[in-house]
Structure 1
């Protein structure tokens, strides 16, 4: 596929099937097992659903296409994908860097599972990660970070990792492959939660890893087979259902997030706003250099927890939810999960509502009372 196509066209074509008379336009899910076996033992591709199946392969081909990768592997969740990658890449005696300002469960996994295996774990935020990478064997970067939305310069970080001989793994969940291409910027692997914007309907859990090194991808596939951290066939089919509309959905989410960020930035009740697309955001110069879209998340701070709850209660469109990337605009007060942020710090995940309606609703909710 060439670069002459736009993102929506690429997404539709990525999940399309070859036209075969009598077959449906979009195949349904396949069973996990059982498969009819051939007399020619050892020749079958499909033997048991934990190893591979046709629906996985179609989804993995689409994900590899969107990430600019040679191959992709699906997993039962984003956490299943990232922990599988860390188990394969970080060995006893090695030094691993994980984001201090990214998804907190990854830090917990590294501290509670990897560190006792003899792996030295360092936590570094988006500013510290370049220095930390200089003494690491494996570096995990999340960019933009969640929930602060700082942006890591992936070209710079990849160069440091190459000079060190370290592997670079990038969590691309918030940006999606339509917003950022980490492999093209020098990463060894991309990992993401497809639970979020890729599936986009808040009705499934899924994750994936994409890369270009055949030996590394084979090791990851073996890890998935043995650990059993697989994606259900029906969930894989649901992600395929969703990818065709990803370009439309994510484009609207990004435009809504930028519009909300601009409106919030000038509101007297809002203490601070973070969004990489705002020209005066500290992450904007790096984001503008490496991102095609700035994502559907906005972080902001109100006076306290009560102000965040009041915003949701007074709004007709906002709902309180901790996941993100769906079609509905959601608000999550991050201190409730133990994040080291102020009580009034919240993250908005912009949905696909009409932009003018969403901005007017949020401003009215902020101004009420």
Structure 2
């Protein structure tokens, strides 16, 4: 039995460190290793009585998954179902809820992989897909007939923020479930279930695990029936997380509070330094007081995260920025301990060629600001 993670008095850092771990036991390791078994001992022998909830086979459960699910669920405020990637989590949700003839509302300016899945798989099953940007316009008419509304806030890569509480209330009026892609914010930055959403979905590949060394995703919900449906679907189609990845993620989760604090600090320092730079336009970060989404973000987000965006004059300027920097790497994904730059137009996002999604890492703020500004100044001189 894992340590109870429902203690209301626990803060973010405490939950990240302790949730999902076994109670202390003399001689046991402080952090046990991953469990790699496929078959498990079954009850039946006289000296092996049945144990409620015991795992029987690796496709139906794994102690390493269970520990991580307990930990993430405690942060989200619901039951967590783990998947081998963020796309596996989103696609499982989109398969589990709508039926032929239903309508699903998706973010028009969110992760392109979600829209690609909807176009390739949902549409051919008779599900109508309606796309709406994070900033709307939202109304009962826009949501009419929907069974599921998937929000992405802050949206990736544009970083617009939508009002989860208001949209959840609107969706309830038309009888739709609300799911929130919480990848960018993480449960320490935003708790959609507490704001009225029915489901949280996330790519744990990114900030939640934060070391750029694994693929994972999850769905959390306060609805036990939906959680059971997702687990059953996971077992049927074999979308199983690896035990080593689950163990790595649980280990990484211990530092989530610390990592997010440093990343947000670095994002704030970088945005302050870049606001007046002659090469930088369309700088967006929910934590900026002048950002169009700041008022909504301040009301519902608990911290603003380490991801921000801006535009440089062209693709060549982005390449030169990375080349001149000593600390930046060009890479897709975000939320890791290393600061990275991703030129989103190369992946087919409908953005300007010089659009940059910047993921602030955990370097010292002074070093990072000095490095990035010097690199941009060098680009400007060329």
Q: TM-score range by the shorter chain?
A: over 0.9
Q: What residue is the counterpart of 2:343 in the other structure?
A: 333
Separation in 1, partners of 2:187, 2:143: 24
Q: Matches of residues 183-332 of structure 1 in structure 2 within 5 Å? A: 183-332=193-342
The alignment status of 1:88 with 2:129, answered yes or no, reads no
> What TM-score comes out, normalization by structure 2 length?
0.94
> What TM-score comes out, normalization by structure 1 length?
0.97
Q: Matches of residues 1-369 of structure 1 in structure 2 within 5 Å? A: 1-39=6-44, 45-69=54-78, 71-128=79-136, 130-131=138-139, 132-368=142-378, 369=381
SS of equivalent to 1:332:
strand
Unaligned 5+ runs, structure 2: 1-5
Separation in 1, partners of 2:50, 2:297: 52
> How far is the alpha carbon of 1:227 from its aligned partner?
1.1
Q: How many residues align?
A: 368
Unaligned 5+ runs, structure 1: none
> How far is the alpha carbon of 1:294 from its aligned partner?
0.7
In the TM superposition, what whole-angstrom CA distance separates every residue of 1:218-269 from its partner, at most 9, and x where no partner exists? 1111111111111000110000110111100111111111211221111111
Separation in 1, partners of 2:177, 2:157: 25
Which segment is superposed worse, 206-215 or 29-38? Answer: 29-38
Which segment is superposed worse, 153-162 or 41-50? Answer: 41-50
> How far is the alpha carbon of 1:38 from its aligned partner?
1.5
Separation in 1, partners of 2:53, 2:192: 34
In the TM superposition, what whole-angstrom CA distance separates every residue of 1:301-321 from its partner, at most 9, and x where no partner exists? 011001111000000000000
Separation in 1, partners of 2:89, 2:243: 16
Contact 1:334–1:345 (Cα < 8 Å) also in 2: yes
Separation in 1, partners of 2:10, 2:103: 41
> How far is the alpha carbon of 1:45 from its aligned partner?
1.9
SS of equivalent to 2:99:
coil
Separation in 2, partners of 1:127, 1:323: 23
Contact 1:15–1:243 (Cα < 8 Å) also in 2: no
Separation in 2, partners of 1:237, 1:294: 27
SS of equivalent to 1:183:
helix
SS of equivalent to 1:144:
coil
Contact 2:102–2:145 (Cα < 8 Å) also in 1: no
SS of equivalent to 2:193:
coil
Separation in 1, partners of 2:104, 2:134: 15
Q: Judging changes above 3 Å, is the alpha-carbon distance between structure 1 residues 129 and 103 closer, same or farther for their aligned structure 2 residues?
A: farther
Which segment is superposed worse, 47-56 or 166-175? Answer: 47-56
SS of equivalent to 2:195:
coil
> How far is the alpha carbon of 1:15 from its aligned partner?
4.0
Separation in 2, partners of 1:196, 1:291: 18
SS of equivalent to 2:24:
coil
In the TM superposition, what whole-angstrom CA distance separates every residue of 1:121-179 from its partner, at most 9, and x where no partner exists? 01110122623324411100000000000001101110011111101111000000000
> How far is the alpha carbon of 1:9 from its aligned partner?
2.0
